[in-house]
Structure 1
Amino acid sequence: MSIDESREFIPVRIAILSVSDTRTLDEDRSGQTLVDRLTQAGHELADRKMLRDERAEIANQLRAWCEDDGVDVILTTGGTGLTGRDVTVEAHRDVYEKEIDAFGTVFTHVSMAKIGTSAVQSRATGGVANGTYLFALPGSTGACKDAWDEILVKQLDYRHRPCNFVEILPRLDEHQRRK
């Protein structure tokens, strides 16, 4: 588990969607944390939006970005908890072609080291749709830092060994291509 310096870094284009009924984009510390980290890592911010906790609106935005050739990865923050208004996970699953089951498991493992059994309340998830990676992260700034610093910064780096998300990105939608 290391960086292979013989490989060239390949930046990916990442869209950030923050989900909140109460915050504005200007007050969105978690989304800004993700923007800061992805740009510091050398990736490109493809787009950034804020939506209310409305399942259909979230799913529609995810689908629109999945159709956009200028977006490789979508990170959402917020709406992954257990309350009635937390519908981001359901919106993600409305869009997924395949779920990355281990993402939630690894995120829980990382969270356990930081917040103990409170990690059980997160429903962080990841998946793939139309050749695009999607990850639903909790709304807390700490959780966004943990997801980026412990998982995504590595998996979104083409140089990361033994494997990473970037090297298989061109093959995510191979089933949709005519042979």
Structure 2
Amino acid sequence: MVDFQSRDTRRMDDDERAEAKDESADDEGEEHDHGDHEGHSDHGHHAHDAESVMFGVVTVSSSREADDDPSGDAIVALIEDASHEVAARDLVDDDFDDVQGTVDRLVRDDGVDAVVTTGGTGVTPDDVTVEAVDALYDKSLPGFGELFRRLSYDEIGTRVVGTRATAGVANGVPVFCLPGSESAVRLGVSDVILPEIGHLVGLARRDEDGAEADDEPGVSPEKGDGDEGSEAQEGTE
């Protein structure tokens, strides 16, 4: 007696094996293509990164003095240790207009590529840094505050809900607002700002038209069209 069920089962097994083999080959091809795409995209994406960044550093505090500013000192040291430079450093009171005016002046300074503030990001009535600087942003960078709070949770637990660290781009300049504690600025500068600052500065000040021209130096679409028309005309004459 012929066991049709066994025969059908074997046939299905063979078909399934062939299908699985084809799917596996397709998956490998997709992974290979995806990897190539990622490599190419990553190279182009970082082509305009800034190698050296000029920082403006602002300490917001009504109780600190220039010679007693451990958080500001920590920011400066970390920046310089990373082979960047501090172009300007200010200490201002917890005053909305003072904070906003100082940051606005720095982002309009051609010698400043990025700004870091420390202090005034809490929830007390005189914590006004976030409100003062937020009004200057052309674009916000919510991922900065999200990541900073995620990393801070490992150190201070649920108290992180009172931290309003924020960032954005104002006049083509990335601005980062950190809490006033030295441990907070060390975390924010070392683990978040410095690893990405060259890339962010490059993107924030990137000239889109200039970037496209750099990709194909000496060639413009208008000129190319004109040349083709000229060649066609020469061929008919």
Higher share in strand? 1
The answer to whether structure 1 residue 24 and structure 2 residue 90 are counterparts is no
2:24 matched to which residue of 1? none
Distance of 1:83 and 1:31 partners within structure 2: 21
Using the TM superposition, give the Cα deviation of residue 77 of structure 1 relative to its aligned residue in structure 2, in angstroms: 0.2
- Does the alignment pair 1:34 with 2:69? no
Does the 8 Å CA contact 2:120/2:126 hold for their aligned counterparts? yes
Deviations 1:94-124 (A, max 9, x none): 2111110111100100100111111111100
Q: What residue number does 1:116 align with?
A: 157
Per the alignment, residue 130 of structure 1 pairs with 171
Q: For residue 65 of structure 2, what is the amino acid of its counterpart?
A: T
Report deviation, 1:168: 1.0
Aligned mates of 1:167, 1:31 — CA distance in 2: 25
Superposed counterparts of 1:1-179, under 5 Å: 10-156=51-197, 158=198, 164-171=199-206
Number of equivalenced pairs: 163
Q: Which amino acid is the alignment partner of residue 194 of structure 2?
A: V
> What amino acid is aligned across from residue 200 of structure 2 in structure 1?
F
* AA in 2 matched with 1:169: A
Give unpaired runs (5+ residues) of structure 2.
1-42, 210-237
Helix, strand or coil for the counterpart of 1:134? strand
Q: What is the letter of the counterpart of residue 78 of structure 1?
A: G
Q: Residues 127-176 of structure 1, C-alpha deviation per residue, up to 9 Å, x if partnerless?
A: 001110101000000000000121012012x4xxxxx31331322x769x
CA distance in 1, matches of 2:119, 2:177: 8
Greater RCO (Cα-Cα under 8 Å, separation 6 or more): 1
3-state DSSP of counterpart to 1:27 = coil
RMSD: 2.0
Poorly superposed stretches of 4+, deviation over 3 Å: none
Higher Cα Rg: structure 1 or 2? 2
Distance 2:149 2:125 in 1: 21
Q: Displacement, 1:43?
A: 0.4
Residue identity in the other structure for 2:130: V
- 1:161 maps to which residue? none
Alpha-carbon spacing, 1:165–1:9, altered in 2? closer, same or farther (3 Å) = closer
Seen in structure 2, the aligned counterparts of structure 1 residues 174 and 66 have a Cα distance that, compared at 3 Å, is farther
Alignment partners' CA distance in 2, 1:169 and 1:78: 24
Give me the whole-angstrom Cα distance separating, in 2, the residues matched to 1:131 and 1:80.
Answer: 22
d(CA) in 2 for partners of 1:30, 1:166: 23
Distance, in Å, in 2 between the alignment partners of 1:105 and 1:16 is 22
Letter matched to residue 55 of structure 2: I
* TM-score of the pair, normalised by structure 1: 0.86
Give structure 1 stretches of 5+ with no counterpart.
Answer: 159-163
